[in-house]
Structure 1
C-alpha cells in the first residue's frame, strides 16, 4: 500500500505540473522519438524498480516529447481538452478498474451509463429510448451504428447476417456525401460494404438533396444505407437534414448521421438550427472527447431501435452473468472496456444544460474571431462559411500558405496545421478546447500575422 500511495502521489505531482504549464508552454513537442527512447531506456531492466521511481522516470523522460494537446492554443485537429470534473472522474475510472460490460457485475457503472445516456439524448435532441453505446471513438461509433443499419436492411430483405454472413446475400448500397469523413469509409470497409457511392455536395460540403434523390432513384429498391454529416471537417457545414432525411426515408433507407463534433450543435439554442430534423435519422455517431471535452477515449453510438443494436452487437456466453434488462456489452463491439460513461456523467453533471450550451457557443465565438482576424491579414482569405467551430483559409497560393503554416509551427505559440481542400492547400483551424480564452485566440492570431509577413519584413 505504501508503494502504491507513493506512486500515486508522484503521478499527481507530475500531472499538476503538466497542467500548470499549459497556459504558457510551447505547443509542439521539444524532443523526438529517438531522444525519448534514450531517456526512457531501451533495455528491459534485470530486476524490479520502485513504482514511484518508475513514475518519476516516465514523467521526466516523456514530458519533453509531449505535444500540448490540452492547451487552449492547440487548433490542429478536432480534439478537445479535458474538463476538470471529467479528468478527476477518469482518474477514479483507472483506480476503480471496472470491466464495464455487465449490469450485475458493475451496477455502479451501468447506473452512470444509463443516466448519462438519457442526458445525452435530451441534450442532442435525439429520440428518447434510443440505445447509447460508449465506444473508443467516432470511428467505432460509426462502425457500430452502420453495423446495426446493415443488419437491419438485410433482415428486411430476408437475410440473417448473424447466421448466414454476407457472402451470397443481397448487395447493400451505401450513399454518402462527397465530402464525408474518411472514418465513414473505414467503418464501411470493416463491415465488408466497400466504398460508398458518392452524392454531390455544394462548395461547403453540404449534400445536395436533389442529388441524393436522384441517386436513390437510380439505385432502385433494395437494402440501402444513407450516411449524412453533421459538421464537415473543413468547413464545419451541416447537411440539410430536413430534405435529405425525407428523401432517404422515402426510399426506405437506414439513415445514419456522422456527427463526430457537430452533433453537439443541438445542445445550444443558438446553433440548434444547424441540426434541425437530424433526429429523424436511425442512428448517430459522435465523440465525447471532442466538443464535450472528456479524456480520450470516448465515442458515442446512438441507435433509435435498441433491438437493432442488440442484434448487431450483443453476444451470449455461458460464463457471463447476463441480465434480463440487458447489459452495456449489448451496445458496443468491445467485450473488455473501461468505464467511459463515468467522465461523461461527471462533465454533464458539472456543466448542466446551460454549461454545455455555453461551451458550444464559446467554441463557435472563438472560431468567428479567428475568421475575422485572418480576414484582416494582407493576402489571406477565409474560404468557408464559419457556421460552427472550423475555419479554413489560404494566403494567396499554395507555396505561401505552406510557408505560413511552417512558420506558425516553428513559432510554437499555437499548433495550427494544414490540409488540402478543393484542390488547394489551406490552414485549417479547429476550435475544440473548453479552456481556450480570448487571449489564447489573440496570441494565435498574432503568431499567424507574424508568419504571414513578407520574408524581408
Structure 2
C-alpha cells in the first residue's frame, strides 16, 4: 500500500464512522473553534508528515467540531445532504481531478454535463434548448443569469457592455419583490447594478402583480430586469408566474427566477402547479445541493437563449482548445472548476424521474407534519401557508420563542435556527435532506415540545 492509498483508506474509515454516527449524535457541534485550533496545532511543522497521519490528525481533531449537517434532523438552512450515489461520485470527482472547462480536455465530463443538463431541463419543464451552466452555488447561478440578462437588455438598448462597460450606458432598471433573497442583492452588486427597486409582496412573500405592473409602467422604456422567486426562504411561497412573467415581457423586460430550492417543485406532479408559467421566464437559478441533495459546490444557471449566456460568460485564449459546438467555459464564471456535472448525473441516474418526484413529495410531507405537530403545542402558531418545504412558527411572544430556540439547540436532538420574518422572531424549519425520516420528524417534534414546555 503506497502513501496515497493508505491516506485514502484512512479517510474512508473516518467517513464511514462519521456517517454511521449521524443517527444518534447530537446535531450541534460539541467543540469550539479555539478547542479545534489547539487540537490541530498552530505551528507549521519543519518536516513532512505521512499523508495517512495528516488525515488521522485532521479527522480526530475536527470531528467534535462538526455540525451534523447530513443528519436527517438538521433543519437550520436549506442545504440538503448528499444522496449516496452523488456522495460516492464526488469522491471520484476528486480522484479523477478533471479540469472541466473544455470538451476536448475532458470529454467524460462534457458528456456527463450534456446528459445531466438535458435531464434537468426535462425534469424542471424548462425549454429543451436552454443552456445549463454548472456554478458553485445558487448565488453564482443568479449572478451568471443576471449577467446574461444585463448584457441582453443593454444590447436591445443599443449598448455593448462587453466592449464599453457600464459607465456612460443607459441605467438598468431592476425590479424585485420585497421578500427576495439577500443573495439577489449580492449578485446585483457584483454586476454593478446596485439595489433593486422593491415592490410590494403579500403576507407570504409573493410579489403582487399589480405592484409589479405599476413599477414597470413608471420605469418607462429603460432596460429592465424583473426578478421573481420560486420558494420564499421563510414561507416557501411561489410568485404568481403566469401574471408576472407576462406583464414583464409586455414591458420588454428580462425575467429571472431565483429557484434555489423551489424550482424542483416542477419535478413532482403533486407540486408542479406551483410552477405554472415559470417556464416562460428568460433565466432560472437553482442549487443542486439543496433539493436534489448532491454535495456542495453545485449551482445551476439556466438561460433560455444560449447565445446570451455565451455573450456574457464566454472567453477566448490562444492556449485554449475550444470546440466549435461550445464548451462548459462559455456558461460559467470560473476557469478552474470541479467536475460538478458528474455528481448531478449520478443523483439523477440513481433516483430516476419517479425518485426525484418522491424526494420532493417526501420533503413536503415532512414539512406538513411539522406544521401539524407544532400547531398542537400550547401557545404555538404556524405563521405561513405550508405549501412546500418551509415552516415558520412562533410561541406566543418573541421572548418565549427565543427561549424555545435556545433550549432546543441545547437539547441537541435537532438543529432549528431562528429568523426574523415580518418583524417577528420566528422558528424557521427547512426540510431539505433526503435522509429525513418520519422518525426524525417525530423525534424533533418531541424535542420542540420539551423546549416549549420548559420555556
Q: Which bin holds the TM-score, normalised by the shorter protein?
A: over 0.9
Question: Which residue in the other structure is 1:119 paired with?
Answer: 119
User: C-alpha root-mean-square deviation of aligned residues, in Å?
Assistant: 0.6
**Hey, what's the Cα distance between the residues in 1 that align with 2:177 and 2:222?**
19
Determine helix, strand or coil for the equivalent of 2:374: helix
**Hey, what's the Cα distance between the residues in 2 that align with 1:177 and 1:63?**
41
1:205 positional shift: 0.3
1:199 positional shift: 1.0
Which runs of structure 2 are paired with 1:262-341 in the superposition (5 Å)?
262-341=262-341
Question: Which residue in the other structure is 1:357 paired with?
Answer: 357
**Deviations, residues 170-198 of structure 1 (Å, cap 9, x unaligned):** 00000000000000000000000000000
**Hey, what's the Cα distance between the residues in 2 that align with 1:153 and 1:218?**
18
**Hey, what's the Cα distance between the residues in 1 that align with 2:113 and 2:47?**
41
Question: Which residue in the other structure is 2:249 paired with?
Answer: 249
1:222 positional shift: 1.7
Question: Which residue in the other structure is 2:210 paired with?
Answer: 210
**Deviations, residues 29-85 of structure 1 (Å, cap 9, x unaligned):** 001000000111111001001110111011000000000000000000001010000
Aligned residues: 455
Question: Which residue in the other structure is 1:180 paired with?
Answer: 180
**Hey, what's the Cα distance between the residues in 2 that align with 1:41 and 1:33?**
12
**Hey, what's the Cα distance between the residues in 2 that align with 1:109 and 1:15?**
26
Question: 5+ residue gaps in structure 2?
Answer: none
Question: Which residue in the other structure is 2:11 paired with?
Answer: 11
**Hey, what's the Cα distance between the residues in 1 that align with 2:45 and 2:331?**
42
**Hey, what's the Cα distance between the residues in 2 that align with 1:325 and 1:231?**
34
**Hey, what's the Cα distance between the residues in 2 that align with 1:314 and 1:156?**
19
Determine helix, strand or coil for the equivalent of 1:352: helix
1:454 positional shift: 4.0
**Hey, what's the Cα distance between the residues in 2 that align with 1:17 and 1:90?**
18
**Hey, what's the Cα distance between the residues in 1 that align with 2:114 and 2:35?**
45
**Hey, what's the Cα distance between the residues in 2 that align with 1:41 and 1:96?**
31
Question: Which residue in the other structure is 1:147 paired with?
Answer: 147
1:347 positional shift: 0.5
Which runs of structure 2 are paired with 1:5-154 in the superposition (5 Å)?
5-154=5-154
Which runs of structure 2 are paired with 1:436-451 in the superposition (5 Å)?
436-451=436-451
**Deviations, residues 366-399 of structure 1 (Å, cap 9, x unaligned):** 0000000000000000000000000000001000
**Hey, what's the Cα distance between the residues in 2 that align with 1:249 and 1:238?**
19
**Deviations, residues 396-446 of structure 1 (Å, cap 9, x unaligned):** 100000000000000000000000000100000000000000000000000
**Hey, what's the Cα distance between the residues in 1 that align with 2:259 and 2:26?**
31
1:22 positional shift: 0.4
**Hey, what's the Cα distance between the residues in 2 that align with 1:107 and 1:30?**
44
Which runs of structure 2 are paired with 1:402-413 in the superposition (5 Å)?
402-413=402-413
1:297 positional shift: 1.1
Query: Normalising to structure 1: TM-score of the pair?
Result: 0.99
1:427 aligns with 2:427: yes
Query: Normalising to structure 2: TM-score of the pair?
Result: 1.00
Question: 5+ residue gaps in structure 1?
Answer: none
Question: Which residue in the other structure is 2:452 paired with?
Answer: 452
1:283 positional shift: 0.1
Which runs of structure 2 are paired with 1:354-393 in the superposition (5 Å)?
354-393=354-393
**Deviations, residues 287-329 of structure 1 (Å, cap 9, x unaligned):** 0000000000110000000000000000000000011010000
